[in-house]
């Protein structure tokens, strides 16, 4: 019995390797078949499900991506790829709130397990794009509602007194002048109301000095300077063990997460609805 179980696991692993090989050659149908056979043999291994989901993703078959990722998450709630691709599938259905929640979960899990991996950066970019999409959709509706309300207020204000035929011409001129002032004030009020739906530039202190892009995972050096973790680690590994700005000796072990800047970035992006769209 034990030998049979071991044999099934070994066979499933070989099928996974075959699937990986097919995937790299873009033979998606063959890869899906291989992963499906592996799942049939060992249905409780989440990576088989996420690997097959990745194939479905490349085929833009989002319904199957969602199904496979849900199963992977049921088997392992800490599956980064499971939450990530499930989130992407939800976004394709324009379920922004749920999709963003899944991407955020994937990002948190990814940062905890592999903070410097390419996938963390990819998830962050997708999350930014998703939040921008949600903001764009919601802000468009809000702007439309505001314009309609402003027009209604303008019409009501203009008609408030001028519809009275008994008033004199002098009174009418005075009312017209007063109405113009009120219309200008009204325009200012609605302009102020629309400010939060206007994209804004990111403050310099929230951007890495090397990439000039907004921080994802900021770390601070002993000299008090803050850099993007992946970028400064790459500098220390390939250029030299020194601070690129001060030229002082710097080791990876001296880097400390800059939680204040990280919180400031999150606050900025939340306030502006992630209206800053990353490149």
Q: Are residues 6 and 65 located together in one domain of the fold?
A: yes
Q: Is residue 77 part of a domain?
A: yes
CATH assignment at residue 17? 1.25.40.10
| 221 and 193 in a common domain | no
What band does 1 get if pLDDT is binned at 50, 70 and 90?
A: very low
Q: Exposed, middle or buried, 15 (CB in 10 Å: 0-12/13-18/19+)?
A: buried
Does residue 13 sit within a domain?
yes
Least confident range from 8-17, 141-150, 159-168, 207-216: namely 159-168
Does position 13 have pLDDT exceeding 50, yes or no?
yes
Based on the fold, state whether residues 211 and 187 are members of the same structural domain.
no
Inform me whether the pLDDT recorded for 167 exceeds 60.
no
Range of the domain at 246: 204-271
* Domains held by the chain: number: 3
**Dist. CA 104–CA 146, nearest whole Å:** 31
Residues 213 and 192 in one domain: no
Of the given ranges (33-37, 75-79, 206-210), which has the lowest mean pLDDT?
Answer: 206-210
> Cα 148 to the chain's mean position, in Å?
31
Query: What is the secondary structure of 167-211 as a DSSP string?
Result: S-HHHHHHHHHHHHHHHHHHHHHHHHHTGGGS--PPPGGGB-TTT
Q: Are residues 182 and 209 in the same domain?
A: no
Q: Which residue has the tokens 């939040």?
A: 131
Q: Which residue has the higher pLDDT, 162 or 27?
A: 27
pLDDT tops 90 at residue 263? no
State the pTM of this model. Answer: 0.61
Q: What is the pLDDT of residues 38-65, one digit of tens each?
A: 999 999 999 999 999 999 999 999 999 9
Query: Do the domain assignments include residue 279?
Result: no
Tens digit of each residue's pLDDT (9 = 90 or more) over 180-238: 776 677 677 767 666 665 556 678 888 888 877 888 889 999 989 999 888 899 889 88
Q: What is the pLDDT of residues 95-153, one digit of tens each?
A: 999 999 999 999 889 887 665 566 787 888 788 778 777 777 777 777 777 777 777 77
pLDDT range class, residue 267, cuts 50, 70, 90: confident
Given this model, what pLDDT does residue 198 score? Answer: 59
Q: Is residue 120 part of a domain?
A: no
SS3 219: strand
Is 155 within the bounds of a domain? yes
């Amino acid at each position: 019995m034990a030998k049979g179980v071991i044999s099934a696991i070994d066979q499933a692993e070989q099928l996974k390797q075959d699937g990986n090989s097919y995937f790299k050659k873009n033979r998606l149908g063959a890869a899906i078949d291989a992963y499906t056979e592996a799942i049939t043999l060992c249905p409780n291994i989440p990576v088989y499900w996420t690997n097959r989901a990745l194939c479905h993703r490349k085929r833009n078959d989002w319904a199957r991506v969602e199904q496979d990722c849900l199963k992977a998450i049921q088997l392992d709630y800490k599956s980064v790829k499971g939450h990530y691709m499930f989130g992407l599938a939800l976004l394709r259905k324009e379920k922004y709130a749920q999709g963003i929640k899944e991407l955020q979960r994937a990002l948190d899990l990814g940062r905890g397990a592999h903070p410097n991996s390419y996938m963390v950066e990819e998830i962050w970019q997708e999350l930014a794009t998703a939040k921008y999409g949600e903001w764009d959709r919601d802000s468009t509706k809000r702007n439309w509602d505001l314009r309609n309300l402003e027009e209604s207020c303008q019409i009501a204000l203009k008609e408030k007194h001028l519809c009275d035929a008994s008033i004199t011409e002098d009174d009418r001129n005075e009312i017209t002048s007063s109405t113009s002032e009120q219309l200008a004030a009204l325009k200012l009020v609605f302009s102020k109301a629309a400010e939060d739906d206007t994209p804004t530039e990111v403050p310099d202190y929230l951007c890495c000095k090397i990439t000039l892009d907004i921080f994802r995972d900021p770390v601070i050096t002993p000299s008090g300077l803050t850099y993007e973790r992946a970028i400064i680690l790459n500098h220390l590994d390939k250029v030299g063990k020194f601070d690129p700005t001060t030229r002082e000796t710097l080791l990876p072990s001296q880097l400390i997460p800059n939680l204040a800047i990280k919180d400031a970035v999150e606050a900025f992006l939340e306030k502006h609805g992630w209206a800053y769209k990353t490149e």
